[in-house]
Structure 1
């Protein structure tokens, strides 16, 4: 393979930001089906939450000024004039010197401005002895304290979590406009690659790890996955299978076949699938230099290295941002990192970005990143890692104790 368009990691990410956007139009889905999907619209509330003032404790609705100065030795005396039931309107106005029993979540009656807790009162017939003063608004959630009318409760580009669905339900939304889950196709190549479920391996054979790991990672980032199987190192067979899979998906990932060698057909296949073709042919990175990025029509194509560790690291660096672009996710939400101190010196060659797997350890003096070393074919090194640290292309390494930014694996 001749690397004719090698780019830096930053340049490759810039290409992704420039070239890719959602392939399919937004759809309206029921709230119950929207978990993990990405909003295609700003959600603006048409009502208050809560829509009435309510108590946060079991106790008595009161006017705060009627309790001022109350203590164990000198209680305030109020007249109990009623009881508020859950799910019912508080119809009885509360006048000066009065109290009404109220449960947690009950509607605060007009005239009341606070609630005194049950633990701080004593009932004596219709008389309420109050042994602790309360401030105006104490133990009360006012109408609109959670959400106001006209408030933007969620912005377009936000991936919906369970708590987000709760907010949407609270403001009366039963459906939401989202981007469809991108469909990712994964096609593995190589004469030596056999299905992962093969029990007995012949000499020279390796199980298809990448389809399992990359497919799982794609689903983890909101995609549906179609597995295209395994094709041998034959250009015609490779192209025929890639064309078939390309028609079914929004994003095609080719695993293997991007290493240096005479049987590398990935570039030819990508060029044949549509214009503009290959955008990045090699990245100045370790591991993962033989990475290929292309676009056929509106659809992204990514050629991953065959080695499992390289493939998954490249997936996190480049496929995840592509998936985010396809789902309309805000760029600021696409990269989660933690600061930590590196536990040892790590040398690096200037001119390429090195990505080192690390395990995070919480020590008495803070969070430390402990390197997990191993060759790119050793998948167990990733299983032992919590994330990875970049050594930038302009650095000769990082020193023990230096604060680094850890890309944490989901």
Structure 2
């Protein structure tokens, strides 16, 4: 442990870091990886391009009829009107005064320069009466009108959507180079955890499963590990054996109790940069980095019991060098063991770390506006996340805070429709106010 780090088990959380500052410090130690792979379009939905894509051909690649009707020379229709139609001869090839039947998508016959819509014509034997004059190029899609060969379609870093895949297929692209999904190791910890039916004193492991599935939804490749007991050697071995991942995530053991060993274990092989965040539920989250060069310490700015910029532990260089001789860095997010606190912190810290590592866009969660049915209480200086259910009555929506609000009550998340985020500068939200309900089950 670095000399300037307090004994967490003695001091507890006398100082906590604001959410925004903690995320900034995490971002400083997270680097985007440069691993790429080539994938067929069928597998490229929601993947992020690792290089620019340029159109290899025109779309359309031939002069194309944009309507069902007749290909004509525009000059042959001049003067046509509802009361005085122009008569053209129905033909198989173009020539003066000719009209050739075409369908949407057909190649425009050589010599034609416009298409008369079928609705503006009548056929009488071998004659076609045209009731509306057309201009040159009317109802014709020229070569490259949609996409020109050599045109830049998408820049590096663009996340592909289904419509993008259709566009790429139309120009002849069959494979794209994308970033590999970031690899995330999810390690549940706790001697009381089991994967099967629990005996008295045992608890079914859910945090690791939940977080690993969130990682997959957010665009990562999750490795969901077996439970690791509360033992320093076992925890250290589990972490060190997963430093080949882009991010290591642990669940449980992040607070300041006798069995909360993870911050000290991480400090012994790397650095804990944040321990304790001004967030509810879930302030016992810890953030660290393993296998990196020492980081110079920064001055703290304290506001009451909230630290604006926590001091980065930086003097454990001997352990850092020993843990990773290649000098690569592996961020670690130590999530609290209570299920709700675990989920909230995964969303606040694991998700952005995954996005930064995988070169993925960090989009905001979609929200639904609703009128708050009951007052929400919160502490000033703490960012609170309150679970709510949403009810609709016609066009009116109302949000009701869940009665079960403890950070260990998983059903309060599973049965809720979303959360209301109360910023640090507010002391609760009164009933009747319109609030934004965030959808935490959103995939992106």
Change (3 A) 1:68 1:348: farther
- Contact (CA 8 Å) 1:293, 1:300: kept in 2 or not? yes
Question: Is 2:284 aligned against 1:279?
Answer: no
1:267 to 247, 263, 271: 263
1:208 maps to 2:237:
no
Within 2, Cα distance between the matches of 1:117 and 1:47? 28
Q: Is the 8 A contact 2:90 2:100 kept in 1?
A: yes
1:52, 1:142 within 8 Å by CA — same for their partners in 2?
Answer: yes
Aligned residue in 1 for 2:287: 293
Is the Cα contact below 8 Å between 2:159 and 2:361 reproduced in 1? Answer: no
Regions of 4+ moved over 6 Å: none
Spell out, residue by residue over 1:152-206, the C-alpha distance to the aligned partner (whole angstroms, 9 max, x if none): 32222222233322222222223222211111111111122111xx1x3211221
Q: Deviations over 1:114-164 (max 9, x none)?
A: 434434433333322334566666544443343234433222222223332
SS of residue matched to 1:246: coil
After the TM superposition, which residues 62-211 of structure 1 pair with which residues of structure 2 at under 5 Å, given as runs?
62-63=72-73, 66-67=76-77, 74-82=84-92, 94=94, 97-131=97-131, 139-195=139-195, 198=196, 200-211=197-208
Return 5+ residue gaps in structure 2 as ranges: 1-8, 292-328
Shift in Å, 1:372? 3.5
8 Å CA contact 2:56–2:173 kept in 1: the answer is: no
On the 8 A contact 1:38/1:329 being kept in 2, the answer is yes
Residues 230-283 of structure 1 show CA distances to partners (whole Å, capped at 9, x for unaligned) of 011111111112222333x22111011123411111112322444xx2222111
CA distance in 2, matches of 1:114, 1:386: 55
- Paired residue for 2:224? 227
Judged with a 3 Å threshold, the aligned counterparts in structure 2 of structure 1 residues 367 and 204 are, in CA distance, closer, same or farther, namely: same
Compared CA separation, residues 281 and 122, structure 1 to 2 (3 A) = same
CA distance in 2, matches of 1:152, 1:244: 43
Instruction: Choose which of 371, 376, 380 in structure 2 pairs with 1:346.
Output: 376
Distance (Å, rounded) in 2 between the aligned partners of 1:27 and 1:188: 30
Number of matched pairs: 392
For the structure 1 residues 117 and 188, does the alpha-carbon distance in structure 2 shift closer, same or farther, using more than 3 Å as the test?
A: same
Alignment CA distance shift 1:403-1:116 (3 Å): farther
- Contact 1:360–1:386, Cα closer than 8 Å, also in 2: yes
CA RMSD of aligned residues (A): 2.8
After superposition, give the CA deviation of every residue in 1:20-55 in whole Å (9 maximum; x if it has no partner).
Answer: 122343333343443332112222324332223323
* 1:52 pairs with one of 52, 62, 67: 62
Tell me by how many angstroms 1:294 deviates.
Answer: 1.4
Q: After superposition, what is the alpha-carbon deviation per residue over 1:289-345, rounded to whole angstroms, capped at 9, x for unaligned? A: 1111112242221111112222122212221111111111234xx223335133233
CA distance in 1 between counterparts of 2:102 and 2:155 reads 37
In 1, Cα distance between equivalents of 2:170 and 2:80: 37
Residue ranges of structure 1 left out of the alignment (5+ in a row): 83-91
Answer whether contact 2:61 2:144 (CA < 8 A) is retained: yes
Q: Say whether 1:41 aligns with 2:51.
A: yes
For the Cα contact (< 8 Å) 2:276–2:283, is it kept in 1? Answer: yes
Give the equivalent residue in structure 2 for 1:240. 237
Q: Look up the SS of the partner of 2:274 in the other structure.
A: strand
Change (3 A) 1:243 1:366: same
* Map of 1:257 onto structure 2: 253
Report the equivalent of 1:392.
Answer: 423
Pair 1:336 & 2:365 matched: yes
Q: How does 1:300-319 map to 2 (within 5 A)?
A: 300-319=331-350
